[in-house]
């Protein structure tokens, strides 16, 4: 079945984008990467999403995450749509966004990456691309995927939050609990022995007592 599973390597596809032809691995380089797909150009939900993504581009850049969008239509359509997206953001209607948009006119990538929404059809009865988010680590492996239908806009604050969580796990060996926000305490992973955890987290570990007597609910302040 086409699609990508956690741990899979990003396919090294070639594609035309609003910033020229790319090879995906070269585009990613040593950075983290986010690829987010859209059903169609000049559609309302997509326009609001891309406007928000453009406004948050500096936040992704601060986290060393390269952004790239994908939509069905042509590069020319994408460039023309960019003007609307910038205008929606209250800016000059320029043909440029802070990230490229892939032109997937024949849905080849959408099929390969398992991105189609069978419930949302275009005028020819073809399924539109769903709203997928793939986040790749610097090793080009898939660290997270989100799959929304075409009719539900994503929450880009949540996407930034999950990037923070993924990077805390990658660099600080911690997990993040329910409803975690940056600055909240994080959790020591169950596989880390107590003595090692004490060394790794000098700010201290707070273990919540539980009826089972098992000491697995271990919190530590978010590491710097």
Active site residue 46: yes
> Among 139, 127, 49, which residue's Cα sits nearest to residue 88?
49
Instruction: Tell which residue, 92, 99, 80, has the closest CA to residue 27.
Output: 99
152 sits near ligand BEZ (criterion: CB under 6 A): no
Determine the straight-line distance between the first and last CA of the chain, rounded to whole angstroms: 41
Q: Does 44 bind ligand BEZ (CB under 6 A)?
A: yes
> Which one of residues 46, 65, 101, 168 is an interface residue with ligand BEZ (CB under 6 A)?
46
Question: Counting every residue, how long is the chain?
Answer: 224
H helix runs in the chain, sequence order: 24-28, 44-55, 57-62, 75-88, 108-112, 156-172, 194-200
The residue (of 99 and 136) whose beta carbon lies closer to ligand BEZ is: 99
- Residue 3 CB, nearest approach to ligand BEZ (Å): 20
Task: Name the token pair of 6.
Answer: 């956690």
- Residue 33 or 49: the one with the smaller Cβ distance to ligand BEZ is 49
Our finding on whether 118 is near ligand BEZ (CB under 6 A) is: no
Minimum Å gap between C-beta 73 and ligand BEZ is: 12
Which x/- pattern, by CB under 6 A, does the window 120-149 give for ligand BEZ?
x-------x---------------------
Q: Does 150 bind ligand BEZ (CB under 6 A)?
A: yes
Q: What sign does the CA torsion over 56, 57, 58, 59 have?
A: positive
Binding site residues, ligand BEZ, CB under 6 A: 39-40, 43-46, 120, 128, 150-151
Q: Looking at the annotation, which residues are catalytic?
A: 46
């Amino acid at each position: 079945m086409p699609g990508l599973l956690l741990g899979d390597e990003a396919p090294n596809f070639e594609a035309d984008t609003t910033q020229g032809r790319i090879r995906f691995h070269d585009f990613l380089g040593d950075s983290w990467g986010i690829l987010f797909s859209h059903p169609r150009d000049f559609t309302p939900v997509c326009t609001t999403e891309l406007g928000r993504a453009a406004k948050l581009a500096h936040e992704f850049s601060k986290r060393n995450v390269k952004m790239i969008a994908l939509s069905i239509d042509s590069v020319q359509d994408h460039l023309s749509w960019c003007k609307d997206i910038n205008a929606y953001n209250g800016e000059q209607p320029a043909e440029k966004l802070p990230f490229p948009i892939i032109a997937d006119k024949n849905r080849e990538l959408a099929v390969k990456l398992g991105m189609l929404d069978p419930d949302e059809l275009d005028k020819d009865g073809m399924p539109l691309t769903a709203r997928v988010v793939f986040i790749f680590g610097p090793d080009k492996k898939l660290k997270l995927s989100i799959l929304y239908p075409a009719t539900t806009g994503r929450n880009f604050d949540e996407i930034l939050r999950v990037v923070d969580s993924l990077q805390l796990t990658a660099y600080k060996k911690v997990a993040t609990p329910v409803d975690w926000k940056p600055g909240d305490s994080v959790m020591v992973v169950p596989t880390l022995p107590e003595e090692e955890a004490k060394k790794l987290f000098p700010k201290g570990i707070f273990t919540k007592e539980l009826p089972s007597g098992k000491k697995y609910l271990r919190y530590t302040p978010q590491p710097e």
